[in-house]
Amino acid sequence: MSQGSTTVTEDNKPVTKLVDRFGRQVTYVRLSVTDRCDLRCVYCMSEDMKFVPREQLLTLEEMSRIGTAFVDLGVNKIRISGGEPLTRRNILSVFETLGKLDGLTDLTLTTNATLLEKYAQPLRDAGVTRINISLDTIQPERFTKITRIGKLEKTMAGIDKALEVGFDNIKINTVVMKNFNHDEIIDLVEFIRDRGMDISFIEEMPLGDMGDHDRALSYCSSDDILSELREKYNLVGTDESTGGPAKYFRFIDSNGDRESESRIGFISPHSHNFCDTCNRVRVTAEGMLLLCLGQEHSMDLRQIVRAHPTDDEALRNALIESMQIKPKGHDFNLNEQPIIMRHMSATGG
């Protein structure tokens, strides 16, 4: 039930114990389970990344404990991300634990799909409801250029398997960059429509130093992409939400009827700031709770779980307290050096 921007239960109480100073309720957590990846996308990682030493990472048990504490407090959606989550050894155990939690209605994953051919069925069996797959191009050579080392056919095999297994929703995430893949947006839209998937076009965010990749030059606004798509498709905005910041559009035919099940979304941190309705926090693979993607406000959960190995009350209290330091919003500016030196892969995008 919704009241303004606040979700309440029948007796008018917030659905979660996690409410910040601005009255925003946190119901969505992104857990990064590794900072490592088998690709090196130009907008996400530099070529010579330094990764966190393994002993500093949360164990899988600690991740499951933290996820469970969040759900105990009212979080109903958890997205597992990274780095590439499926490269973490024995990662299925985290999905299996979280997938059994009663209060969790949405267990989702963001992946580059290189290992999805093997994992799609076990993930579905563990209770994963929806999958976001990153795909910036459907041209093999370009794919290798953007990911620096990837092979398109592996990701395509993963997408095919996910479609065969059948999740509630499969969404393609595309970071649109001038001079890289901007000329492919129609091809990507045809690709998802043929397969009944959704797509989100994402504006590149200034996270981490990218070496010689100049973000101001590659920047492409969501409004420009939408105008280009509208030359070919009749698109109508919807109020539908998947609990994230994307704004969605549907394809409509000349009678005003829905022409396809697919939707196009836009994630626009630059052109449309979405901080007012922010409902999420992130946990890095080292156990740092990040209260905002674009700010440094954080709390060390690894220290708390290790100081209280059997007492989840201490962990839950810390999570409630952390709401006092959730900042009002981010402050991205593409023309300045990144103020946040963390890469998206370390943050859990």
Binding region for ligand SF4 (CB under 6 A):
37, 39-41, 44-45, 82-84, 112, 134, 345
CA 54 to chain centre: 23
Neighbours of 87 (CB within 10 A): 18
In sequence order, what are the beta bridge partners of 80?
31, 109
* Residue 40 touches which member of ligand SF4, ligand SAM, none, C-beta under 5-8 Å by kind: ligand SF4
Residue nearest to ligand SAM (CB): 349
d(CA 99, CA 92): 10
Residue 338, classed as helix, strand or coil, is: coil
d(CA 217, CA 205): 13
**Token match 């905005």: residue?**
237
- Assess 202 for contact with ligand SAM (CB under 6 A): yes
* Residue 308 touches which member of ligand SAM, ligand SF4, none, C-beta under 5-8 Å by kind: none
Using the minimum distance from each CB to ligand SF4, give the nearer residue, 52 or 252.
Answer: 52
Using the minimum distance from each CB to ligand SAM, give the nearer residue, 301 or 344.
Answer: 344
Using the minimum distance from each CB to ligand SF4, give the nearer residue, 37 or 66.
Answer: 37
Using the minimum distance from each CB to ligand SAM, give the nearer residue, 20 or 84.
Answer: 84
Q: What is the token pair recorded at 137?
A: 């191009």
| Piece of 109-117, 183-191, 303-311, 325-333 that binds ligand SAM (CB under 6 A) | 109-117
- Assess 173 for contact with ligand SAM (CB under 6 A): yes
Output DSSP code: residue 216: H
* Residue 229 touches which member of ligand SAM, ligand SF4, none, C-beta under 5-8 Å by kind: none
Query: How many chain residues are in contact with ligand SAM, going by CB under 6 A?
Result: 19
- Assess 84 for contact with ligand SAM (CB under 6 A): yes
Q: What is the token pair recorded at 96?
A: 């299996």
Three-class SS of 161-229: HHHHHCCCEEEEEEECCCCCCHHHHHHHHHHHHHHCCEEEEECCCCECCCCCCCHHHHCCCHHHHHHHH
DSSP-derived secondary structure for 93-114: HHHHHHHT-TT--EEEEEE-ST
* Residue 202 touches which member of ligand SAM, ligand SF4, none, C-beta under 5-8 Å by kind: ligand SAM
Q: Which residues bind ligand SAM (CB under 6 A)?
A: 37, 43-44, 81-82, 84, 110-112, 134, 173, 175, 202, 204-205, 207, 344-345, 349
